[in-house]
Amino acid sequence: MMSNPGQTTHGVLTQYLITDLGGVTRGRGAWDTSDAPLKASMGWVPVNQFITPFDSIAPNPYGSHGDVRLRPDLPTLTDITLPSGRRLRFVLSDLVDLDGTPSALCARSFLQSALEQLEARELQVLASFEQEFWLERAQGDRPTPGFSYQRFIRHEPLGTRIVQALSDAGLEPETFLPEFAPNQFEVTLSPAMGKTAADRAVASREIIRAAAFDADSSASFSPIRAPGGVGSGVHIHLSLWSLDGRPVLHEAGAPGGLSRLGAAFAAGVVRHMRAICAFGAPCPLSYERLKPHRWSSAYTCMGDKNREATLRICPTVSGGRPTAEQFNLEYRAVDATANPYLILGALIHAGLAGIKSDLPLPPLIDHDPSTLSDDELAARGIRRLPTSLPEALLALRDDEAASSWMKRELLDAYLAEKEHEISETEALSVEDLTARYGAIY
Ligand code: GLU
Ligand code: MG
């Protein structure tokens, strides 16, 4: 192409993003001009799916060999400008092979295939990732009371800017609140169908981090900030709908308000909870959060309006939309070190397994399960969730069904990355872990 010195080419820098198996969003940018508004794909390498959060590479079969592409998904194109002028223009991408077919290593395509299996049963999932995070300013902050208005005010105008940016990006923010622990906040977004829900989780984290940075503050989604403290969770709300848009999880008067289909779906999730921890609580620090009495969930159980239950039946309110449309389940054993596509895909597979076997509704626990004796727990089929990442990976390997949900290459890559992450961190104290994960997530 002829260049014309001194003449400005009009274009925009777009980042093509992928969220890797460790839940870190990475990517590369291209100068997109009006003749070519978005590239068809961008180069990437398979070995990148083996990078740990600490930027070392787990043992893998690819090494320096091979190529994959980042293929942008146009509806996810986001273009917003923050108050300082910083521009966020990014598009979420699938990992595809050179012939354009989904790469076996693509987490987003794993979710897509789980959604297709739901669709084969004439079902779709409506979901929202409710996310807690920490806001910290360079000059430090004195602690403010949990849920307090003064906490919100001390961080203004950042809260308003965050919600504005999320809204500008089309993510439909619903609530923004000071949470219980010092410097902790929470944001919720409107639920969205299928992949869009996971896309929103990815995009919102990056936007919140960027809005905080833009205001000389910093946001972290790390599962815990202080050893022994309250954690920051990601609670995934989900409900099932027919393809023609009818809510199918609820049945008035049935136990827990769940339809037979809803009960079977929930039972599948409960049955595979220990294995699912490998995807939902996927870093060593995750297990500092998953402890009893923190409302973070610690047992393989389900409860009606019980925040110590890993699967919670959420309340509905009168006077609003029909109950069946409000009715949803909340899966709580997740934090933001999880890849949103993998965890949502795993939950769908678990629920589908429950539907296929027409499992009955598990016992509903309406109090803290850690107060039950071992015999009482055993009688209800309740087990402790894994207490470490190695235990969660073992639970996944031991669960034949759960380890068949994803293609072998993806499962092997995931386990290799996680095992390398364990070996990199096993000598660290909890204090060191909180510092290291806090800086990355
Ligand atoms: N911070 C708690 C967690 O670790 C959740 C508190 C809540 O119910 O909002 O998941
Ligand atoms: Mg909360």
Closest atom of ligand 1 to 184 CA is: 1
What pairs with residue 8 in β-bridges? none
Could you tell which of 293, 332, 337, 368 is best to mutate to test the pocket of ligand 1, judged by most ligand atoms within 8 Å of the CB? 332
Task: Identify the pLDDT of residue 2.
Answer: 47
Cα of 426 vs centre of ligand 1, distance in Å, is: 26
Name the residues around ion ligand 2, CB cutoff 5 A.
Answer: 186
Cα of 373 vs centre of ligand 2, distance in Å, is: 28
Strand segments, DSSP code E, in 154-265 are 173-178, 184-189, 192-193, 217-220, 234-242
What is the arithmetic mean of pLDDT over 306-318?
Answer: 94
Task: Identify the pLDDT of residue 85.
Answer: 94
Ligand nearest to the CA of 221: 1
With 0-12 / 13-18 / 19 or more C-beta atoms within 10 angstroms meaning exposed / middle / buried, residue 403 is middle
Closest atom of ligand 1 to 181 CA is: 1
Residue 204: other Cβ atoms inside 10 A? 24
Residues 6 or more apart in contact with residue 284 via CB below 8 angstroms: 388, 389, 421, 422, 425, 426, 428, 433
Strand segments, DSSP code E, in 99-163 are 123-137
Q: Are 25 and 205 in contact (CB under 8 A)?
A: yes
With 0-12 / 13-18 / 19 or more C-beta atoms within 10 angstroms meaning exposed / middle / buried, residue 70 is buried
pTM for this prediction: 0.95
pLDDT tens for 392-412 read 999 999 999 999 999 999 999
What 3-state class would DSSP assign to 283? Answer: coil
Ligand nearest to the CA of 281: 1
Q: Are 97 and 68 in contact (CB under 8 A)?
A: yes
pLDDT tens for 352-384 read 999 999 999 999 999 999 999 999 999 999 999
- Residues in contact with ligand 1 by the CB-under-6-Å rule are 132, 230-231, 233, 289, 294-296, 307, 332
Cα of 305 vs centre of ligand 1, distance in Å, is: 13
What pairs with residue 11 in β-bridges? 33
Closest atom of ligand 1 to 233 CA is: 10
Closest atom of ligand 1 to 230 CA is: 1
Task: Identify the pLDDT of residue 335.
Answer: 98
Residue 101: other Cβ atoms inside 10 A? 10
Residue 418 binned pLDDT confidence (cut-offs 50, 70, 90): very high
Could you tell which of 179, 187, 314 is best to mutate to test the pocket of ligand 1, judged by most ligand atoms within 8 Å of the CB? 179
